[in-house]
């Protein structure tokens, strides 16, 4: 599982969803959580935080947002050599096969369908960690 000092970026246009995700993360012991209201803001934060002491180590992003969707943020992240192995979890209320396939092909580490329980959330993060940091 991700260590408690992992620096996490939570991206969602709905403050209530950001608060829910942050609450789950804090309950799991995480302390370094930043947030963004859309993909454009998230991209700016990723760029600003791209130093060894402040680098974002996990992105949890909603799919449907104004300005830049989560899938577009993911695709942009995957084109940057520094972020090709950055764990990226997509949240969505859509569970359509085409969307899941697009997320996987774009390089999503995990895909979580809303609403989700704390257990499902934690299990998906564990799987994302294992995918990126195989022992």
Beta bridge partners of 36: 11
Burial track 86-123 (b if 16+ CB lie within 10 A, e otherwise): bbbbbbbeeeeeebbebbeebbbbbbbeeebeeeebbe
- Domain 8-132 in CATH 3.30.2090.10? The answer is no
**Cβ–Cβ contacts within 10 Å for residue 30, how many?**
19
Domain residue extents for the chain: 8-132
pLDDT digits (tens, 9 = 90+) for 48-98: 998 888 999 999 999 999 999 999 999 999 999 999 999 999 999 888 889
Q: What is the pLDDT of residues 100-121, one digit of tens each?
A: 899 999 999 999 999 999 999 9
Contact status, residue 92 vs residue 64, Cβ threshold 8 Å: yes
Q: What pLDDT is attached to residue 94?
A: 81
pTM for the whole structure? 0.96
Contact 99, 92 (CB under 8 A): yes
Per-residue pLDDT, 135: 55
């Amino acid at each position: 599982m991700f260590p408690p000092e992992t620096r996490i970026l939570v991206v969602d246009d709905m403050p209530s969803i950001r608060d829910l995700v942050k609450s789950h993360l804090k309950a799991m012991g995480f302390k370094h959580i930043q947030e963004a209201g859309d993909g454009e803001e998230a991209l700016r934060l990723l760029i600003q935080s791209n130093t060894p002491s402040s680098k974002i180590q996990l992105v949890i992003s909603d799919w449907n947002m104004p300005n830049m969707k989560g899938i577009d943020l993911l695709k942009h992240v995957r084109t940057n050599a520094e972020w090709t192995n950055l764990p990226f979890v997509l949240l969505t209320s859509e569970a359509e096969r085409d969307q899941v396939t697009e997320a996987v092909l774009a390089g999503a580490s995990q895909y979580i369908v809303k609403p989700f329980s704390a257990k499902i959330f934690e299990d998906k993060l564990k799987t994302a960690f294992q995918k990126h940091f195989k022992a």
